[in-house]
């Protein structure tokens, strides 16, 4: 009788060990690096004809602060680097940047904004960003788009806030019309507190924005949905 009781105790011990060690966590393998929380999303108007060598643009020398949160939540010390990086990327594609004093009317406007709001950023003239983050066309690599996405706090040590940097390309139209957005690139992720890391990370992500936007080059042979 004592032996049977002991065996049951052993079985319970084995069961507890299996439960704790065998399964351990419902969601193992969460992010191990802050960069793994970054998302880069680009979207464009398929009807618009991108012709970089024939199109000029104007980009203000400031990054606007939009959405929720206090301005003080957003570190503005990288604004110059960010604006320069975007201008370099557009120049590499062939777009000509016009200065404010040029007196010419640009074909395009490029506007940058940052927000500490998790849900993207707002732009004048409409809710261009409202489709995100439930866009149903995400490829199979991202799983089926069932249900609704919701913000959560990734399992990464430390205290971080979330934020977005948006780059918006608008078509220059007559005064009084709603301004059509023809292309948008948005970086969303955790805002790091490590200064050097943040700068390098954001610049790399801007590069990714343009790397995944072959339409900006005027290419017609675009990657197939995957």
Partner 1 sequence: MNHRKLFGGVVALLLAAAFAQPVSAQRAGQWMWNAKYSTVMGMGDTSDFAGGFSWRGATFDIERATSDNFSVGLTVGWHVLDEKNAGTSFFDQGAISGTAFRYVNSAPILLTGNYFAGSRGAVRPYIGVGAGTYWIENRTEAGVFAIENSNWHLGLMGEAGLAIPRPGGTSLTLSARYNWGLETNDTERQYWTFSLGYSVGN
Residues forming contacts to partner 1 in the complex (CB under 8 A) are: 3-4, 6-8, 10-12, 14-15, 18-19, 21-31, 35-46, 118, 133, 135, 137-154, 162, 188-190, 208, 212-213, 222-226
Our CB check for partner 1 shows the closer of 152 and 175 to be 152
Our CB check for partner 1 shows the closer of 3 and 103 to be 3
The alpha carbon dihedral of 43, 49, 53, 59 has a sign of negative
Helix (H) or strand (E) holding 64: strand 64-65
Please state the closest distance from residue 3 (CB atom) to partner 1, in A. Answer: 5
Please state the closest distance from residue 173 (CB atom) to partner 1, in A. Answer: 21
Please state the closest distance from residue 169 (CB atom) to partner 1, in A. Answer: 12
Please state the closest distance from residue 128 (CB atom) to partner 1, in A. Answer: 12
Our CB check for partner 1 shows the closer of 15 and 91 to be 15
Our CB check for partner 1 shows the closer of 26 and 105 to be 26
- The C-alpha angle 193, 199, 202, rounded to 5 degrees, equals 100
Our CB check for partner 1 shows the closer of 28 and 103 to be 28
Q: How far apart are CA 116 and CA 67, in angstroms?
A: 7
Please state the closest distance from residue 35 (CB atom) to partner 1, in A. Answer: 8
Our CB check for partner 1 shows the closer of 22 and 176 to be 22
Our CB check for partner 1 shows the closer of 7 and 62 to be 7
Please state the closest distance from residue 175 (CB atom) to partner 1, in A. Answer: 28
> Which is nearest to 114 in space by CA: 48, 215, 7, 205?
205
Structure tokens at 5: 């009781």
Verify cis geometry, omega within 30 degrees of 0, for the bond prior to 133.
yes
Within 10 angstroms of residue 32's Cβ, the number of other Cβ atoms is 10
Give pairs for 27-36: CB < 8 Å, separation 24+: 27/155, 30/154, 30/155, 30/156, 31/154, 31/155, 31/156, 32/156, 34/156, 34/160, 34/189, 34/190, 34/192, 34/197, 34/201, 35/189, 35/201
Please state the closest distance from residue 30 (CB atom) to partner 1, in A. Answer: 6
Helix (H) or strand (E) holding 84: helix 79-93
């Amino acid at each position: 009788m004592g032996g049977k009781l002991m065996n049951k105790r052993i079985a319970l011990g084995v069961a507890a060990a299996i439960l704790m060690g065998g399964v351990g966590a419902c969601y193992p393998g969460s992010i191990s690096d802050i960069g793994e929380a970054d998302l880069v999303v680009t979207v464009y108007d398929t009807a618009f004809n991108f012709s970089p060598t024939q199109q000029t643009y104007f980009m203000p020398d400031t990054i606007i602060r939009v959405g929720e949160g206090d301005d003080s939540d957003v570190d503005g010390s990288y604004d110059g680097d960010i604006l320069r990086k975007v201008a370099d990327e557009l120049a590499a594609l062939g777009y000509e940047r016009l200065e404010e004093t040029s007196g010419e009317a640009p074909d395009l406007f490029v506007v940058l904004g940052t927000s500490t709001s998790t849900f993207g950023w707002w732009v004048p003239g409409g809710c261009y960003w409202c489709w995100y983050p439930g866009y149903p066309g995400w490829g199979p690599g991202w799983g089926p788009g069932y249900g609704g996405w919701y913000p959560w706090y990734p399992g990464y040590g430390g205290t971080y806030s979330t934020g977005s940097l948006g780059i918006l390309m608008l078509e220059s139209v007559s005064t009084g019309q709603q301004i059509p957005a023809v292309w948008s690139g948005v970086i969303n992720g955790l805002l790091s507190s490590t200064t050097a890391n943040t700068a390098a990370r954001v610049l790399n992500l801007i590069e990714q924005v343009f790397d995944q936007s072959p339409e900006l080059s005027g290419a017609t042979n675009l990657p197939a949905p995957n």
